[in-house]
A and B are shown apart, each in its own frame.
Chain A
Amino acid sequence: MKNGNSMFPDVRIPYGTWGSSYFPAWQTSALAEVNLGQFAGEAAAQILGKRHVPVGELDYMVIGSTVPWHWKFWTAPLVSSCMGRRLPGFHVEQACATGLQAVLVGAAQIQTGSHRAAAVLTFDRTSDSPVGVFPERRAYERTHSISDVWDNFGFDPAAGSSMITTAGTAARKYKLDRREVDELTAHRYEQYFAGRKSGFLDRVLFPFEVLNLQGRPMGTIDDDFGVRRVTLDGLKAMRELDTCVTSGTQTHASDGMAILLTTTREKARELSTRPEVDIQFVARSEIRTRPSLMPEAPTLAVQDLLQRTGLTLKDIAVIKNHNPFAVNDAIFSRVLDYDWHNMNNNGCSLVWGHPQGPTLTRSLIEGLEEAVDLGGGNVLVFGCAAGDVGIAAVFRVSEGAAS
C-alpha cells in the first residue's frame, strides 16, 4: 500500500466539512443535563450549516456512542431527525474505538456503492450515565444493576481487572519510568495550549449555546471545561494510583460530539471548501492483546498496520493517539522507537478528556486538519478500547494541499 493503494479507493473525506463540540469534563456543563442524542443531531446540523453543507446532501448516517441515551432504540433516523431530515442508518458501538470504527463503517457504506454521502456522527454523555437493571435468574441477587460508565471502567467482566489496572500492568511490563511519563504528560498539555493559542482548535471546535425547556440559555459549551494547566512539578507531586498512573497522567470523563462525512471522490469535491484537498483511507488494523494489557494494544495495531502496508513511521506526517493513559504514548514510543515529542500536536484525549464515542473522531479531525496545514501526508490515528483492543488507521491527505 506504500505505492498508494487504498482500502476504500472510491471514498473520500471532504475537507472542511467536519467539526466537533468542545468536550467539557463530566458534570461541568449543561451537557450533563440533556439528551445527548438530540444535542448531537442539532449541533451537527449547525456545524454542517456553518460549513455550507446542506443536510439534504446526505443520504445515510452512522452514529457512534457507548453510553445509552434516551430513545437510543431509534438510532440514526432519530438523531438525524434532530438535524432536520430523517436518514437511514445505524448505530456503531465499540467502547473507545467507536469514534474511529464509525468512520471506517461510514466509508464502507460509500465503497459498497449503497450510498453517496454519509454523516458519521459520534457522541456520548458520561455525566450521570444511566443505570441499567438486568434481571439475572441465575444470580443470587436475582437482579443486577450497573452504572454504565463507572461500573464498566472499574471492572472488565472477562478479565476481572479495571482500566487503571491495565495501565499499571502495562507500565510494569515495559518498565516505564514515572519521570518520563510525567514529562510526557506535561508536554501534552503544552501541545494542547499551543493549539489553543495558535487558533488551531478554533478551526475544528464549535461553541454551542444550550437551551432549557423554556428556550432560555442554560449554558454555553465554548471550552474544554475542566482542562487546566499542569506543571511538571505538580505532576511529580501527585500520588501514584498504580504504576506510572496518577490523576494527572490519565484522562477524565467528559461529554461531547463530533461529526465528519464520508462520500465519493466527486461529491467530496462538491462539498469541500477546498476541493483540491484529497483525503483517502489507506488501511486499518485492529488487534487484541493479552488480558489487562490494553495500553499496549494500540501500538501492536500500529505495528500490524505498518507491516501490512509497508509504511514506516517516517512515512507518517501526523500521529494522533487516543491516550487515556500517558502510559499508552510511552509504550508506543518505546516499542516503535519514536520520539513522543513529535506526536499528538495541538492536544489529545489525555488532556481534553474522554467522552468515549467521539474521542477518536475528534482526534482524526484534528489530525487531518494538521496534515492539511503541513501540505499533506499520511495521518496515523489509533487508540485503545475496552477488551484489551487496539485500533489503528492511516489516512492520506493529498500533497500540495497547503493553502
Chain B
Amino acid sequence: MTTMRQTTLDTLGLGTVLDIFKNGALPAETDDLVDQVFGKSSDRGALVISGASGIVGAGKTMQLGSRLESFGVPVVALDMAGAPDGIGRHYPGLTRAFGHEKADAIMRNIARLSYDGKQLPPKLKDYSPRLLIEAIPEILELKKAHYTIFRAEFPDIDIRSVTSGFPSSQLGVGITHPAFPHEINKVWEIVEPKSSATTQLLWALGLIPIPVSDDWSFVLDVLFCGLTQAALRYHEASNMPYWKIDKFVRKFVGPNPFRAHDAIGAKGANFLTWSCLHHLGKEYGALFTPTDDLVERKDSGLNWYPPNHFRPLVNWKLDADEQDTFKTWVLGALFQMTSVMLKEKRAHLSHMNIIGELCAQFSPGVLAHLRSLGADRVVGLVDAYHAFHPAAAKKAWHPGVFDNMDDVDWQQLYVNAEHDGAVGVITIGRESYNSDVDAELNRAIDWLRSEKIDRVILTGDFHLSTQLVGADTSEFFPALESTDRGFEISHGWSMTARRFHDEFEVSVGFVNGKRCWGGCLELFLHCHYMVSVEDATLSFPEVTLPVVPGVEGCHWPFRRTDEDGQAMVMNLLLGGRPIRASDATGWFIDHAGSLNDAITVAWKIASGVDHTYALRKVEEGPLAGVSGLLSHITPTKDPGADAARQAIVDTIRASCEATLADALTIQAKHSAGFMTSPAVKKGAVGSAATKTLV
C-alpha cells in the first residue's frame, strides 16, 4: 500500500483509510475498546472525572457521559464538597441535544461524590474506577498529590490529566487535553508514549484525539495563547483597543482572541492564558513572556472588551502601511511560535494545522497560512517582527523549519491519497471546501494518475472531518465585489469536480460523516457512483444563504437522474432542506446503509467486484424536460429568498438547456453574477464579510 503522506488515523495506531474499505469495517469497534478500558460488561468499571464541577470537568462529564451511558459505563463526578454545581447547569443543553428521556438517562448514570482533597470517598470503590480524568486546578503539587491518593486506592487505574500546560513528564501521568467549549468540542490533544485503547476509544466515540509531543503547553494553546500574546504586544505598541485588534486579528488570522477570553469567562481564561505563556516564557524566552496587561487581567479577572456603558466609541482604521505593521507584530510572533512547534515536531502537520481551525477559528490553519506566504516571506516577516521586539530574537527562532514547504507533508495538509496498486482513496480532512482543499485535491488526483490508478473512492478522512458542510463561505468575500473572482472560484472548483468523472474509470463518492452539503455534495455527485451511510444528511442549503450553487449543482444532478429524480432535485435546490441519505437512494445516490455495509458496497464498486449498481449516464446534450418543472415555482413573501430562488431557477434553465460542455461556464457566470447582487450582500455571506472585513 502506498500513501502520499502518513494518514492521521495512523497516528492513533488505526492504520489507513484504504484499510477501512479493504477490511469492510472500521479499525476498532467501540464495544471492544470499552471492554479494554473499563472491563467486560460483567465487570464494568467507571470513569471518574475529578474537578467535575469546574468548566472543563463538567463539560467533559457531559460529553463523555452522554457517549458512555449506552455502554453501561458509570461516570463518577468528583469534586470538593463546597464546589458550586457545574453539572446541573448543563441539563437544559442535554435535553435540547438528546430529549428528556435520554438526558435523564445520562444524568442517572452520573454519580456525584464529594471529597476533601485528602481522602477519597469510600463509596468510590463501589464503582471500580478504571479511568481517571483529572481536571483539578493547575497546581503541580496538588495534582501529584491527587494522583498519589488515587494510586494508593486503585493501583491499576489509568490516570489522564486535562492540564492546560504541564508536560506529562512533570505530571507523571498521561494527558488528554481538551478544547473549549468542553461539552461539545471534540478535539483532545493526547500525550502518551504510544497510542492506547483509551485514545482509540475517544476516536471510536466520535471524538477527535490528536497525538502531540510531550512539551510545555499544547499545540492549540501555543497557537491561541500565543496569538493573544502577539495581539497584546501590538496593543502595547500601538494603543489600539483590544476590541479593534480582535477585528483585525479576525481579518488576517481568523480568531477573536479577546472576545474568546470573555466568552469563556475572563477570570479563568485570563489565568490559563497567563499560566500557559508564563511557562512557555520560562522555557522559550521573551517571545512568550506575558505582558503587564495580561498579568493585570489575570489578577483582576477583568474582561477585555469594555463594559456595555463603554461600548467602543472611536473607530480605528489602518492604512496599508499600518496594516503591514499590524501583520508584522501579530503574524511575525505567531509564525515564530509555530517554528518552535515545528522544530520540536509537536504533531503531524495536518494536526498542527487543523487544530486551530477546529478549535479557535483560525482561517486557514496556521501551516496553510505559512504555506501560502512561502518560506522567504515568512522569515522576512519574523525578522521584521524582531526589529520591533528584539528580545524575541534571542531564543526560540528556527527559520530552517520552513525550508521544506514543498514536501508532501506540507503540501497535503487537508487532502491525502492512498492506493494499493489498483484502487485509490482520496480523503478530505477539512469540513468545508476552500481553495486550499481544491489545490490539494488536484494534487492528490495528479498523484493517483501518475501512479496509474484509475479507480478511486472520494471520502472524508474518518478522523478530522466528521462531516462535509460545503464551501467555506469566507472564500466568497472577494467575490461579493468581483464577478471575475466569483467566476474563478466557481469555474475552478467545477473543473476539479469534473476530474472525478472524466479522469477515472470508476469513481465512488463515499459519505461517511453526519452530513454532505452544498459544494461538497456537488463535488461528490461528480463521482460515477455515490454511497453513503444511511443517517447522513444531504442538502443544497445555498438558497438559504443565499448563493447560487457554483459547482455545477444547477445542472449536473439533473443530468444523472430520471424525470422523477429531476423533480426531487429541484425541491432540494429550491427548498434548501436536508434529506436523509436513506431517502435519496435511486434517484440521487446509489446506495445507503449502515457504516460497515456502505463501506463494503463502496469497495465492491470501486474495486470492480461484481455488484448490481448500474453506472449512471450523465446526459451530455441539452435537457429538454427541466424547464417544464420551473413553471411550478411560486413566490414567497421573502424578497431575499425570492431573489435567490429566481437566480437558481435562471441558472438551472440556462445551464440545463446547454450542452454539458458549455454548461460549466454558463453556471459559473450565473453563480458569479448573483454573488455581487444585493441579496447576497444582505444575506449570510455578506453579513459575515461585513463583520470580518474591518
Residues of A within 8 A of B (CB): 34-35, 38-39, 42-43, 45-46, 48-49, 53-56, 82-85, 208-211, 213, 215, 217
Contacts and interface: CB of A to CB of B under 8 A. Distances in A.
Contacts, number: 56
Contacts of B235: 84
Contacts of B311: 211, 213, 215
A259 to B, nearest CB: 12
Interface of B: 235-242, 292-293, 306, 310-317
Nearest to B243: A215
B241 A84 contact: yes
B239 A55 contact: yes
A38 B313 contact: yes
Query: Mostly helix, strand, loop or mixed at chain A's interface?
Result: mixed
A210 B314 contact: yes
A-B pairs, top 5 by smallest CB distance, nearest first, are: A49-B239, A42-B314, A209-B315, A45-B239, A49-B238
Contacts of B242: 84
Contacts of B237: 54
Nearest to B240: A49
B271 to A, nearest CB: 20
A45 B317 contact: no
A189 B235 CA distance: 40
B315 A54 contact: no
Given A49-B240, A84-B235, A84-B239, A56 B313 contact: no
Contacts of B241: 42, 45, 84
B391 to A, nearest CB: 15
B292 A56 contact: yes
B239 A211 contact: no
Contact of A208 (B238, B310, B314): B314
Contacts of A211: 311-315
A209 B317 contact: yes
A139 B240 CA distance: 50
Contact of B312 (A42, A55, A56): A42
Given A49-B238, A56-B292, A39 B315 contact: no
A290 to B, nearest CB: 43
B239 A83 contact: yes
A48 B315 contact: no
A215 B312 contact: yes
B313 A210 contact: yes
14 contacts: A38-B310, A45-B241, A46-B239, A46-B240, A49-B316, A56-B236, A82-B310, A84-B239, A84-B241, A84-B242, A211-B312, A211-B313, A213-B311, A215-B311
A54 B239 contact: yes
Contacts of B313: 34-35, 38-39, 42, 210-211
A352 to B, nearest CB: 20
A29 to B, nearest CB: 13
Nearest to B310: A38
A209 B314 CA distance: 6
A56 B236 CA distance: 7
A208 B292 contact: no
A148 B235 CA distance: 37
A213 B312 CA distance: 8
A36 to B, nearest CB: 10
A54 B314 contact: no
Nearest to B308: A213
A211 B313 CA distance: 5
A53 B236 CA distance: 10
A85 B238 CA distance: 12
Given A39-B314, A46-B240, 18 more contacts: A34-B313, A42-B241, A42-B313, A45-B239, A46-B239, A46-B316, A49-B240, A49-B316, A53-B239, A54-B239, A55-B239, A56-B236, A56-B292, A84-B235, A208-B315, A209-B315, A210-B315, A211-B311
Nearest to B291: A56
Contacts of A48: 239
Nearest to A44: B239
B315 A217 contact: yes
Contacts of A215: 311-312
B302 to A, nearest CB: 10
Contacts of A213: 311
A175 B310 CA distance: 52
Nearest to B315: A209
A54 B315 CA distance: 18
B241 to A, nearest CB: 6
A48 B241 CA distance: 12
A52 to B, nearest CB: 8
Nearest to B241: A84
B240 to A, nearest CB: 6
A34 B238 CA distance: 24
B239 to A, nearest CB: 4
A210 B242 CA distance: 17
Nearest to A39: B313
A261 to B, nearest CB: 13
Contacts of B292: 56
B236 A54 contact: yes
Contacts of B293: 85
